[in-house]
Amino acid sequence: MMMKTNKERLGIYIHIPFCKSKCIYCDFVSVTNQSLTDKYFDYLLKEIEMYKEVLNQFKVVTIYFGGGTPSLVDALYIEKVVNKIKEYTDLNDILEFTIEVNPGTLNREKLEVYKKVGINRISIGLQSTNNNTLKMLGRIHDYDEFLDSYNLIREVGFNNVSVDLMFGLPGQTVEMFESSIDKVIKLNPEHISAYSLKVEESTKLYKLIKKGVLEEPNEEIDRVMYELLIDKLSENKYNLYEISNFSKNEFESKHNMIYWERENYLGLGLAAHGFIDNKRYGNVISFNEYFNIIDNEIKPVEETSVISEEECLFEEVMLGLRLSKGINYKKLNEKYNIDFIKDHNQEVIELLEEKMIEMNNESIWITKKGMSVSNAIITKII
Ligand SMILES: C[S@@+](CC[C@H](N)C(=O)[O-])C[C@H]1O[C@@H](n2cnc3c(N)ncnc32)[C@H](O)[C@@H]1O
Ligand code: SF4
């Protein structure tokens, strides 16, 4: 009989920095020139080799291919990465294995390979069901193409699918967003992520807003949309388990929970971030640097920071309050030798009175009402 080990859990994030074209709002690290694909994967495999001790030290429980557009590249590249990881660790303890896919880049063959290598969860980016909105955002697909991809994913037999939506988009009315929510609910995915548009300075969207071509997001409309989202999804048995994430029972993203609960994760590839043994690190963001550093047999890490005890507490509170289950202050008190409620007495009393938070004898959490102003609540508490 195999001996049971007590290895700590590990998540793995792998960044695939290629997209067919760049959406106007997106500041994720990705390029549209695919000529570096082959070289990139060669170097990614070398990077994995450099982490063989880490892979051996931990028990891998989740893997997440993110991007960029992981479904753009030939699925054989994905297979090679998985096989490389398997050289250093078995994947017997894998609970969740996700790949992000985009409509317009998928086919049956790719999905069959994903299945074969053990991928058991698909996260598909829709953003909106309105074709004009999709066009305005620079998406490469319309709603029908999304439906084709979604149906194909189901046909190939994936039973854990997440759909991404965005709201607060230029020109998007509350009715338009409601229609997107309704159509997605009808498809019955196990998980829905819905993000309020963030205007990032490096994007085309930012320039278009500055020039007055597109309108700036409006906080009030954004709040109305978010409250509508929470109501509609909860009526349809989706639990809000994190500010932007909703799932059917048992379908919370296990990989994302690793981030939010500050467990260890390895970040591989250009611009990926990791958190191992209380150290956070970020990889370089330029292809040339990535290749050159790996040529020198050094991990392509740009910055590392050891998290002090004070920062650790700050992170636990900040990340924990994003979750509907909140933070277990009783555990925090023991771990950091503090009295959390006493230390934040005035703020807690006020927020309780305003029904923005609730608490019991061990936890404190943001209420459904508080979720739409969660940033302000978190700032007030920490
Ligand atoms: C890693 S991204 C991209 C995944 C995939 N390539 C796609 O486009 O569908 C994951 C999700 O973040 C959201 N997102 C990206 N940029 C955003 C922004 N500026 N504001 C709000 N949400 C954003 C989108 O919903 C997107 O699907
Ligand atoms: S949103 Fe997705 S597809 Fe669009 S540019 Fe960003 S990563 Fe690429």
Instruction: For residue 268, report the distance from its CA to the centre of ligand 2, in Å.
Output: 18
Least distant ligand from the CA of 198: 1
Peptide bond before 68: cis, by omega within 30 degrees of 0? Answer: yes
Q: Mean pLDDT, 10 residues at a time, over the chain (382 residues)?
A: 72 98 97 97 98 96 97 98 97 97 97 98 98 98 98 98 98 98 98 97 97 94 96 97 97 98 98 96 98 98 93 95 96 94 93 96 94 92 86
- Are 126 and 165 in contact, with CB atoms under 8 Å apart? yes
The predicted pLDDT at position 79 comes to 98
Instruction: For residue 133, report the distance from its CA to the centre of ligand 1, in Å.
Output: 15
Q: Compute the distance between CA of residue 93 and CA of residue 294 in angstroms, rounded to an integer.
A: 29
Q: Compute the distance between CA of residue 176 and CA of residue 276 in angstroms, rounded to an integer.
A: 42
Q: What domain range includes position 328?
A: 309-381
Best residue for ligand 1 mutational test, from 19, 28, 30, 209 (most atoms within 8 Å of Cβ): 28
The predicted pLDDT at position 171 comes to 96
Is 295 domain-assigned?
no
Best residue for ligand 2 mutational test, from 27, 64, 65, 69 (most atoms within 8 Å of Cβ): 69
Residues 148 and 23 grouped into a single domain: yes
Instruction: For residue 65, report the distance from its CA to the centre of ligand 1, in Å.
Output: 14
Is 269 domain-assigned?
no
28 lines ligand 1 (CB under 6 A): yes
Residues 46 and 188 grouped into a single domain: yes
Residues 142 and 231 grouped into a single domain: yes
Residues 254 and 338 grouped into a single domain: no
Residue located nearest, by CA, to atom 7 of ligand 2: 68
Instruction: For residue 201, report the distance from its CA to the centre of ligand 2, in Å.
Output: 16
Is 290 domain-assigned?
no
104 lines ligand 1 (CB under 6 A): no
Is 161 domain-assigned?
yes
Three-state SS letters, the chain: CCCCCCCCEEEEEEEECECCCCCCCCCCCCECCHHHHHHHHHHHHHHHHHCHHHHHHCEEEEEEEEECCCCCCCHHHHHHHHHHHHHHCCCCCCCEEEEEECCCCCCHHHHHHHHHCCCCEEEEEEECCCHHHHHHHCCCCCHHHHHHHHHHHHHHCCCCEEEEEEECCCCCCHHHHHHHHHHHHHHCCCEEEEEECCCCCCCHHHHHHHCCCCCCCCHHHHHHHHHHHHHHHHHCCCEEEECCEEECCCCCCHHHHHHHCCCEEEEECCCCEEEECCEEEEECCCHHHHHHHHHCCCCCEEEEEECCHHHHHHHHHHHHHCECCCEEHHHHHHHHCCCHHHHCHHHHHHHHHCCCEEECCCEEEECHHHHCCHHHHHHHHC
Least distant ligand from the CA of 20: 2
206 lines ligand 1 (CB under 6 A): no
Best residue for ligand 2 mutational test, from 26, 124, 195 (most atoms within 8 Å of Cβ): 26
Is 296 domain-assigned?
no
Sign of the dihedral defined by the CA atoms of residues 41, 300, 117, 154, in that order: negative
Residue located nearest, by CA, to atom 6 of ligand 2: 26
Least distant ligand from the CA of 126: 1
The predicted pLDDT at position 187 comes to 98
Domain CATH code at residue 339: 1.10.10.920
Residues 81 and 206 grouped into a single domain: yes
The predicted pLDDT at position 47 comes to 98
Q: Spell out the residues 6+ positions from residue 42 whose beta carbon is closer than 8 angstroms to its own.
A: none
Is 106 domain-assigned?
yes
- Are 54 and 88 in contact, with CB atoms under 8 Å apart? no
168 lines ligand 1 (CB under 6 A): no
Residues 322 and 254 grouped into a single domain: no
The predicted pLDDT at position 382 comes to 83
Best residue for ligand 1 mutational test, from 21, 100, 121 (most atoms within 8 Å of Cβ): 100
Instruction: For residue 202, report the distance from its CA to the centre of ligand 1, in Å.
Output: 15
Say how many domains are in the chain: 2
Residues 239 and 347 grouped into a single domain: no
Domain CATH code at residue 182: 3.20.20.70
CB atoms within 10 A of CB 214: 19
Least distant ligand from the CA of 166: 1
Is 276 domain-assigned?
no
Pocket of ligand 2 (CB under 6 A): 19, 22-23, 26, 28, 30, 67-69, 102, 125
Judged on CB neighbours under 10 Å (0-12, 13-18, 19+), 185 is middle
CB atoms within 10 A of CB 376: 11
The predicted pLDDT at position 1 comes to 43
Least distant ligand from the CA of 32: 2
Residue located nearest, by CA, to atom 4 of ligand 2: 23
Least distant ligand from the CA of 18: 2
- State which ligand 1 atom lies nearest to the alpha carbon of 25: 19
